[in-house]
Amino acid sequence: MSDDREMSTVTVDDVRAARELLRGVAVPTPLVPSRVLSELLGGPVLLKCENLQRTGSFKIRGAYVRIAGLSERERARGVVAASAGNHAQGVALAASMLACKATVFMPDGAPLPKIAATRGYGAEIVFPGPTVDDCLVAAQKRADECGAVFIHPFDHPDVVTGQATIGLEVMEQCPDARTIVTPVGGGGLLAGIAAAAKGLAAEAREAAGETGGEPKLKIIGAQARRAAAFPPSLAAGRPTQIEIEPTMADGIAVGRPGDLTYAMFTGLVDAVVTVTEESISQALLLCLERAKQVVEPAGAAGVAALLEHSYAVEPPVVVVLSGGNIDPLLLSKVLRHGLAGAGRYLVVRCRLKDRPGALVTLLSELAELGVNVLDVMHERVAARLPVEEAEVLMHLETRGADHSEDVLARLRERGYTLTLS
């Protein structure tokens, strides 16, 4: 595999060769059925658990194929990469396995577990700025200055081919899949899966003597709405740079599609949908509670797409959980966000009379209503409060949206003044 390969020649045979190269390096990940998502869509939904891959994401596949394809002289000069964390870990591990020095440029504020893991695999880390795009520029500059090989996170045929091995696994594990949904950042993962899956589907159709008609397999990408570069790029007919807004899905926050991945998308990908922060947090919560899978926000974008755009997919559906490297502190915040979005978590300010027993009475009434009180802050002296009143800030856990509405209504009926925070 080499840089000279045309972008249109990421073939099924290339992907089969990459899978042989990856034997003993990347593990075939399981396909797990999801009952709750199957009920939502009215047909089978299965989760492709790349969060269980080595380094916690699919990135080791493309990174290893790319670095293994370098000459001994190129590997001796070392490699550089830019990443929010998952590509960093993939490059670091692949380089260590291939006896190659790696320098990784990561954005300021990258998750601490990803930084620690990348260092643990032996890479040097540099922090050049706040975004992945800043890191891409700095990494390319370092490569130009010192002769190291830049390992692009998505826009190279070998990287795409490595990620495409997931598509082979999916089609072998679920040959009757009608829709594959995958998170999208720069597009390497989805472009690769689309090339492999649609290539295999075409081979099967040809073997069966089928000609003409629309392909039965649909490929759909899911982007965080705050970092969705593909929809405007596809509308403009060329890769387009966008301004990224802050998003919890840092792993897919890429401001411009790659030239290669964009070209592959136009011929292989059927749709790209966007998902909100609320949907991502609810998807992460669903994965944890119902599928028992720890997934990072970017890795849950495909599940978020099912929650938000169920009308756009036809079962059987395979959803790729692309990564599970999440900071525990972020996990706690995102889960709370997801609980709030599902109506199971309330932050309420409540006014009550400043007299003995008033707080005990309120808490007793909440207990009668089946509410779990997680935290209470009682304030008695503040400029905004009348002398005879106090205010309580409460974090409450309920059984769902209907229960939350009932609790709020019952408290208001009993004379409490409530404000949702």
What are the chain's domains? 7-57+157-338 (3.40.50.1100), 59-151 (3.40.50.1100), 343-420 (3.30.70.260)
How far apart are the C-alpha atoms of 298 and 227, rounded to whole Å?
11
Q: What are 275's strand-pairing partners?
A: 224
How far apart are the C-alpha atoms of 252 and 184, rounded to whole Å?
6
In this prediction, residues 339-362 reach a mean pLDDT of 86
Confidence of residue 5 (pLDDT cuts 50, 70, 90): very low
SS3 state at 354: coil
Q: 82, exposed or middle or buried, with CB in 10 Å at 0-12, 13-18, 19+? A: buried
Q: Is the pTM of this model over 0.75?
A: yes
Answer yes or no: are the C-beta atoms of 263 and 237 closer than 8 Å: no
Q: 53, exposed or middle or buried, with CB in 10 Å at 0-12, 13-18, 19+? A: buried
Q: Over 297-339, what HEC string results?
A: CHHHHHHHHHHHCHHHCCCCEEEEECECCCCHHHHHHHHHHHH
**Percent over 90 (pLDDT), the chain:** 66
In this prediction, residues 153-175 reach a mean pLDDT of 96
Confidence of residue 354 (pLDDT cuts 50, 70, 90): confident
Q: Is the pLDDT of residue 153 over 70?
A: yes
Q: Which residues, including other chains, have CB under 8 Å from residue 333's CB and lie 6 or more apart?
A: none
Helix (H) or strand (E) holding 229: none
Q: Over 85-142, what HEC string results?
A: CHHHHHHHHHHHHCCCCEEEECCCCCCHHHHHHHHHCCCEEECCCCCHHHHHHHHHHH
| CA–CA distances in Å: residue 20 to residues 5, 61, 157, 184, 310 | 19, 11, 17, 26, 36
In this prediction, residues 113-132 reach a mean pLDDT of 90
In this prediction, residues 176-189 reach a mean pLDDT of 96
Q: How far is CA 59 from the centre of its chain?
A: 12
Q: Is the pLDDT of residue 83 over 80?
A: yes
Q: Is the pLDDT of residue 241 over 50?
A: yes
Packing angle, helices 59-68 and 86-97, rounded to 10 = 40
Q: What is the pLDDT of residue 1?
A: 46
Answer yes or no: are the C-beta atoms of 144 and 284 closer than 8 Å: no
Answer yes or no: are the C-beta atoms of 187 and 222 closer than 8 Å: no
Q: Is the pLDDT of residue 6 over 80?
A: no
Confidence of residue 194 (pLDDT cuts 50, 70, 90): very high
CB neighbourhood size of 352 (10 A):
17
When mean pLDDT is compared across 36-40, 64-68, 296-300, 396-400, the lowest value belongs to 396-400
How far apart are the C-alpha atoms of 300 and 323, rounded to whole Å?
8
User: What is the phi/psi pair of residue 305, to 5°?
Assistant: -65, -35
